[in-house]
Structure 1
């Protein structure tokens, strides 16, 4: 175990995930044109993908289609690697993506190795200097490379609860017996969220699950959730070579684009395993890294692809977080790690989300950061923290609420890049990392077995973050019913 105090200063930009900004010498993204760093841009190698039918053209405020069944017709699997297999890094499409990356700017961090139980070997890593901001060893979230933005891992405003689900879209397994989770597969969770406060979340999709169940990915987009990447096959990414990392990213970006028509700007590393080498590759492929500061460990409960963690233990986590919020012990908001993995994880969120909604402002993890453009397709403009139609309403809210049935306004310019003009207060975080080395071969990946990082706990430093920028607004229109 290793404890590391990390100086952090998360700031937001007054520009939109900006496709043509460059880094200043200080590491913030601004208007400087003197930096040699190749700016983050929309992946040109996805531009020839035809938009699918049955998806919205912009953010959908509803009404929503909550039919109980979806087509299980996959994408053309001949155009993709084997689902849940290791993609071939020499594939021509992967090599084309490789050529778009400025490899001079990718840190020369070593490819990590794992133990027989799946844990990463950290013995020879310099934890004090942490030269590559390796989250799996030190929980570092502020890259040492100046042009990379800080990871998104929490909500700045006290009382905000950033809702996320990993490993989707949850595919039916079509199996008989006790592990048959078909009734819990999508669209169960997305429909349930729509019917319980029109709740939105940030969804981290595994490419292999998207190609085998694209209609579920469409449902996620059409219901107004934020879509992000979670790699093709859920590996520990620092164990991947550069080519292998590009392959994991590329096929997932392509699958989401072909299934939904959007090119995502965000990703979450499986098990949280990321360093500056992997961050740089992801950034140059158009994506910012998103982590968390509270972990349910729900993936480890008994169920298809799960473990043996007692559900009562997870119940205790939720109750403890609610009790601390009621007692006013938190100094920031949170981003929570949950999964749409099996009956256990879905039923657990259905049990606790209504209770959380009574105490926290439950919002998508990116909404609490005022990120309005999660995709490279500019017409998708999402609600923000300050003007969010999807937030749960409770007496502890620190933000004004907007009626979901009325016309909504949103910041058009929020981004996942930091701003040279934005000011931030320093923050620190100390956390204990327990590597999770349990891979899944049953088309549903587990999450990271990481200690819950309460911002006020005895082993976690206070996280002090800046107030959100005041930005302009743009109007939205409602959409027709779609899947």
Structure 2
């Protein structure tokens, strides 16, 4: 069984909260994780190679070597002040597209078999940075999620995206309150000091620890660089760490080389900060096609999407200052609870939530 995440020789499995108890779900290329049936043998994923270009990355001190087995020993409270981003050297400027001419990125580019990557040109974007989908072939030859929500790659040798949990009922009720978790995934962290005057991440981690819950955290590499102590705490608390790129761009609009650089620097900073070589990633905005999938797969990453979202990033009062009424988001949760209780659910769920919005809610 091939795990998504590795800490030395440890096998870490995705976790979901179920009725207040921790429940583990192993999602592998052979499991029915993203659709009602797994990929056919005629289109079995081609083998991945170990990311040898990360072998010389030495983790920072202070990391745990195993997930906590005793919930009473899960760290809580403020983050350590001894872990500073100044210890991380040689990284590109945070929150900007990384250059592609560095020796590290060039080594990865040379390691990729480009004959196994579709020759698809990068997408064009509007002035606001989002991709232009008008004029795209309606037959969707590239399995472009932004257009068709396609999650079964059409290019040979690529696994299906992970979109939902295969087991019906993989939801959580916390402290007898109506609080849905499904497979908890949070994007865009760790929240940096610039986004909060004090505390930053501990509110979310402490909340999850209080309710004995685990989550999958899709980290932006730049944010890990700015808040390494938060990433180390997440690992110590038993959460799964995944990549959300280095600077959060629309990935299908990037060149092959930039896609490599975005993934490389996010993988590197996660490993140097926590010791984890992650094997899972989520494209920003869900924007992915077979070209980007193929590059990510050769870099050891499985594409994780979601089957629903709560749109919390568009609520008023938090980061982004959205205009979506709270009743809309509440209605989504009520709908999910109803479908679970009335037996109409066909599978478990992966729900997309914004870590910055969660932090705002917990702080207020």
Question: Match of 1:165?
Answer: 186
Whether the 8 Å CA contact 1:184–1:346 is kept in 2: the answer is no
Q: In structure 1, the residue corresponding to 2:104 is in which secondary structure? A: helix
Q: TM-score, normalised by structure 2?
A: 0.81
Match of 1:141 among 151, 160, 166: 151
Query: Aligned to 2:188, what secondary structure does the other structure show?
Result: strand
Cα displacement string for residues 399-432 of structure 1 (whole angstroms, at most 9, x for unaligned residues): xxxxxxxxxxxxxxxxxxxxxxxxxxxxxxxxxx
CA distance in 1, matches of 2:41, 2:345: 34
Aligned ranges 1:227-306 → 2 under 5 Å: 227-302=241-316, 303-306=318-321
Question: Computing the radius of gyration over CA atoms, which structure comes out larger, 1 or 2?
Answer: 1
The answer on whether the counterparts of 2:79 and 2:230 sit within 8 Å (CA) in structure 1 is no
Q: CA deviation at 1:121?
A: 1.0
The CA distance in 2 between the partners of 1:310 and 1:181, in whole Å, is 24
**Contact 1:70–1:187 under 8 Å retained in 2:** no
Q: Distance in 2 between matches of 1:306 and 1:276?
A: 34
The answer (yes or no) to whether the contact 1:267–1:288 under 8 Å persists in 2 is yes
1:48 matched residue in structure 2: 56
- Measured in 2, the distance between the counterparts of 1:25 and 1:227 equals 30
CA distance in 1 between partners of 2:246 and 2:28 (Å): 30
5+ long unaligned stretches in structure 2? 1-26, 32-38, 171-181
Aligned counterpart in structure 2 of residue 190 of structure 1, from 205, 219, 225: 205
1:119–1:50 CA distance, 2 compared to 1 (3 A): closer
Residues 98 and 243, structure 1, Cα contact 8 Å, conserved in 2: yes
Pairwise CA distance, 1:281: 0.4
Superposed, 1:440-455 pairs within 5 Å as none
Structure 2 equivalent of residue 28 of structure 1: 44
C-alpha deviation, 1:286, in angstroms: 0.5
2:160 equivalent among 150, 159, 168 = 150
User: C-alpha distance in 2, partners of 1:40/1:300?
Assistant: 38
Query: Are positions 1:126 and 2:137 aligned together?
Result: yes
Partners of 1:75 and 1:214 within 8 A in 2: no
Matched, 1:90 2:104: no
Q: 1:166–1:340: 8 Å Cα contact kept in structure 2?
A: yes
- Judge conservation of contact 1:301–1:345 (CA < 8 Å) in 2: no
SS in 1 for 2:217: strand
Deviation at 1:299, TM superposition (A): 1.3
Equivalence for 1:457 = none
Q: Secondary structure at the match of 2:85?
A: coil
Structure-2 change in CA distance of 1:346 and 1:314 (3 Å) = farther
**1:305-333: CA deviations, max 9, x gaps?**
45332333212211221122222221111
Secondary structure, aligned partner of 1:99: helix
Q: CA deviation at 1:48?
A: 0.8
Structure 2 match to 1:416:
none
Scaled by the length of structure 1, the TM-score of the pair is 0.62
Aligned to 2:22: none
Partner of 1:358: none
SS of the residue corresponding to residue 193 of structure 2 reads coil
Gaps of 5+ in 1: 1-9, 15-22, 30-36, 174-179, 352-483
Residues 1:12 and 1:91: Cα distance change in structure 2 (over 3 Å): closer
Taking the aligned partners of 2:363 and 2:89, their CA distance within structure 1 comes to: 37
Contact 1:75 1:259 in 2 (8 A): no
Change (3 A) 1:306 1:96: farther
Classify the secondary structure of the residue corresponding to 2:50.
Answer: coil
Listed one character per residue, the Cα deviations across residues 361-387 of structure 1 (whole Å, up to 9, x for unaligned) are: xxxxxxxxxxxxxxxxxxxxxxxxxxx
Tell me the distance in 2 between the aligned counterparts of 1:26 and 1:243: 30
- Name which of 36, 46, 65 aligns with 1:57: 65
Shift of 1:44: 0.6
Q: Which moved more, 1:90-99 or 1:320-329?
A: 320-329
Seen in structure 2, the aligned counterparts of structure 1 residues 276 and 200 have a Cα distance that, compared at 3 Å, is same
Confirm whether residue 330 of structure 1 aligns to residue 345 of structure 2: yes
Pairwise CA RMSD: 2.2
Q: CA deviation at 1:204?
A: 0.2
- CA shift, 1:297, in A, is 1.0
Q: Deviations over 1:9-34 (max 9, x none)?
A: x97538xxxxxxxx9971125xxxxx
Contact 1:299/1:345 (8 A) holds in 2: no
1:194 alignment partner, SS class: helix
**CA distance in 2 between partners of 1:326 and 1:24 (Å):** 33
Per residue, is there more helix in 1 or in 2? 2
Q: Distance in 2 between matches of 1:326 and 1:349?
A: 27
